[in-house]
Amino acid sequence: MQQATLFSPDRKARLHSALLTWFEQHRRPLPWRTDYAPYAVWISEIMLQQTQMERGVSYFQAWMERFPSIADLAYAEEDEVLRAWEGLGYYSRARNILRAARTIQAEHAGLFPSAYRDIAALPGIGPYTAAAIASIAFNQDVACIDANVERVVSRLCDLDVPVRRQPGKALLAECADDLLCRGRARDYNQAVMELGALVCGRRPACPVCPLQSFCRALQHKTVHLRPVLPEKTASVALTIASGVLVSGGLLYIQKRLPNDVWGGLWEFPGGSVEQGECPEEAVVREFMEETGLAVRVTDKFGCIRHKYTKYNITLHCFALALADKASDPCPEPPHLCEASEFRWCTLEELKDHAMPSSHRKLAKTLSLSGDKLSSSLSGTPHAGERSLPGLLSG
């Protein structure tokens, strides 16, 4: 087993100086770096998980306009928070942000706690996020490890063990702590993350790295072998059928159960295509199972291809009508088994309901369908006219 302490105090001091000088010259002007307000640092850290920086900055700025303080967030409705988060995915993050804001409002008088233990106790904040907030917002001497830090430290120390499982994970943490520039944790942690993002990436630019003279992996010619990571999980293909039910000039949507995948988001009902059935059959069956409503397919208007964690999803999209003429053109479903509530809404109102990315893409396509869609919403389409025109492409 390798030793965590690989650098003498003098060598670490020179490493710190080289890294912090580089950071001062190359740091990106990110909005949460203006004053390092704890609320801003917290939201940025949660948003940047599984999100590219440019996209994260855009969402961060819109979020801060909508919820400028912890109090504004704490008193917001969950639907409003999910709508602001829509497109970032992993929606449990947004629900935990709301829970944490309410906890801060109730237990910390609306002030973000500064103690690491109190930060880590908030909903949705794990060890990395707690360390990042403690060091960046409060300049506490805590090392934090994200994927960028993982690459930099693994290469500096040439760690030849898998760093995402024990004992390699503990060794990586020891190395990160040993290398920490105490007293300047805010700048140091950000500098390491910035270096991992801009220079020491998956395709490292070693010739321009300010730490090349300190890097053991570069000396040993093992840079591209570090960090040692587990094998990627094989992707799983899923075929799903979903339908847009139109009746009485309105569209049917439903809200997923809180603890389900995409919990609390609105969707057009549907589900997996089972073995032996075609997508058209699947969407009719799913509607009956989920809502008790008998529907018929009036048209197929395209497919959406979407990736979610390990799943490659092909979503077949159909236009639907009620199978039987009912006295109520917008009936209440006899039962809901995959949803907490339902709603008949106008095309315009779809924008006010948070949806998974694939369903939002479908909703946006509907909004661009023009006069033919308006005709469809106002009654039965003419012969030969598509009930929901416009093709979706993956």
Catalytic residue numbers? Answer: 45
Q: CA separation (Å) from 324 to 93, 245, 317?
A: 42, 13, 21
Three-class secondary structure assignment of the chain: CCCCCCCCHHHHHHHHHHHHHHHHHHCCCCHHHCCCCHHHHHHHHHHCCCCCHHHHHHHHHHHHHHCCCHHHHHCCCHHHHHHHHCCCCCCHHHHHHHHHHHHHHHHCCCCCCCCHHHHHCCCCCCHHHHHHHHHHHHCCCCCCCCHHHHHHHHHHCCCCCECCCCCHHHHHHHHHHHHCCCCCHHHHHHHHHHHHHHCCCCCCCHHHCCCHHHCHHHHCCCHHHCCECCCCCCCEEEEEEEEEEEECCEEEEEEECCCCCCCCCEECCEEECCCCCCHHHHHHHHHHHHHCCCEEEEEEEEEEEEEECCEEEEEEEEEEEECCCCCCCCCCCCCCCCEEEEEEECCHHHHHCCCCHHHHHHHHHHHCCCHHHHHHHHCCCCCCCCCCCCCECC
Distance CA 147, CA 356 (A): 26
Judge contact between 145 and 128, C-beta under 8 A. yes
Length of the chain in terms of residues written? 394
Residue with tokens 């000088």: 21
Distance CA 239, CA 313 (A): 6
